[in-house]
């Protein structure tokens, strides 16, 4: 009987240790994601500080200003959702990270954002920094040459919903019903 009890106790301790290790690894991944964002510059030319995200949920989207449809549609939807949230909109941060840093300078981003809610933050950086940030979220993008020095960019088209602890809780898709998107944002804001 003692042997069985010791064996069960050993298993319980191993499971607890595995859970703590998994939790620790998840926390490290969350911190690494935010660390990557700190390398970027916002639309006003200021370095982005992770302290802006401390204890607040946020929604993060990868795109570019020359995008013909998905990016402006998503940013317009996010702007509309912020309006529908009313006072709760100030409890969430919306971040747009460009995947076209060659064209999307802080000034270009600042001008582009005038068409959307003023609370949206846009970030840019060097191509290597953008690649690193995208990899941290497992977002994909690819430059597609169109000839005559013109190009477009194919990219992931969902919005990552991050809770106040920096964990990904869900995603939004620009094709989802607006009521569902609003519910997801409200749930994110209400989450502990």
1 has pLDDT over 60: no
- Count how many domains the chain has: 1
CATH of the domain at 170: 3.40.30.10
Q: Is residue 6 part of a domain?
A: no
pLDDT (0 to 100) of residue 25: 43
23 has pLDDT over 50: no
pLDDT (0 to 100) of residue 10: 55
The pLDDT tens digits for 104-152 are 999 999 999 999 999 999 999 999 999 999 999 999 999 999 999 899 9
Q: Is residue 20 part of a domain?
A: no
Q: Which residue has the higher pLDDT, 30 or 14?
A: 30
Under DSSP, the state recorded for 4 is H
Under DSSP, the state recorded for 115 is T
Q: Is residue 12 part of a domain?
A: no
* 2 Cα distance to chain centroid: 51
Cβ–Cβ < 8 Å for 70, 64: no
Q: How large a percentage of the chain has pLDDT more than 70?
A: 83
**Burial (0-12, 13-18, 19+ Cβ within 10 Å), 85:** middle
pLDDT band at 16 (very low <50, low <70, confident <90, very high): very low
Q: Is residue 65 part of a domain?
A: yes
Q: Is residue 26 part of a domain?
A: no
Q: 54: phi > 0 → left, psi -120 to 50 → alpha, else beta; which?
A: beta
Q: Is residue 60 part of a domain?
A: yes
What is the average pLDDT across 1-19?
Answer: 53
pLDDT (0 to 100) of residue 174: 83
- The CA-based dihedral angle spanning residues 108, 111, 115, 118, taken in that order and rounded to the nearest 10 degrees: 110
Q: Rounded to a whole number, what is the distance in angstroms from the first to the last CA of the chain?
A: 42
Which of 29-38, 90-99, 116-125, 128-137 shows the lowest mean pLDDT across its residues? Answer: 29-38
Q: Is residue 120 part of a domain?
A: yes
What is the average pLDDT across 16-26?
Answer: 45
Q: 181: phi > 0 → left, psi -120 to 50 → alpha, else beta; which?
A: alpha
| Domain of residue 86, residue span | 33-190
pTM of the model: 0.83
Question: How far is Cα 64 from Cα 57, in angstroms, rounded to an integer?
Answer: 23
Under DSSP, the state recorded for 69 is S
């Amino acid at each position: 009987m003692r042997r069985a009890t010791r064996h069960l106790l050993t298993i319980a301790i191993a499971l607890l240790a595995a859970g703590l290790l998994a939790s620790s690894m998840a926390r490290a991944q969350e911190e690494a994601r935010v660390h990557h964002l700190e390398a970027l510059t916002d639309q006003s030319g200021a370095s982005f500080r992770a302290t802006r995200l401390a204890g607040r949920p946020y929604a993060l989207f990868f795109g570019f200003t020359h995008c013909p449809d998905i990016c402006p549609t998503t940013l317009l939807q996010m702007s509309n959702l912020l309006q529908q949230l009313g006072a709760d909109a100030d409890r969430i941060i919306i971040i747009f990270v460009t995947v076209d840093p060659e064209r999307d300078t802080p000034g270009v981003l600042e001008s582009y954002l005038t068409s959307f809610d003023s609370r949206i933050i846009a970030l840019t950086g060097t191509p290597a920094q953008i690649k690193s940030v995208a990899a941290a979220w497992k977002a994909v993008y690819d430059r597609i040459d169109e000839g005559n020095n013109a190009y477009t960019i194919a990219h992931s088209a969902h919005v990552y919903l991050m809770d106040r602890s920096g964990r990904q809780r869900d995603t939004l898709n620009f094709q989802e019903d607006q009521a569902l998107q609003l519910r997801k944002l409200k749930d994110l804001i209400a989450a502990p």
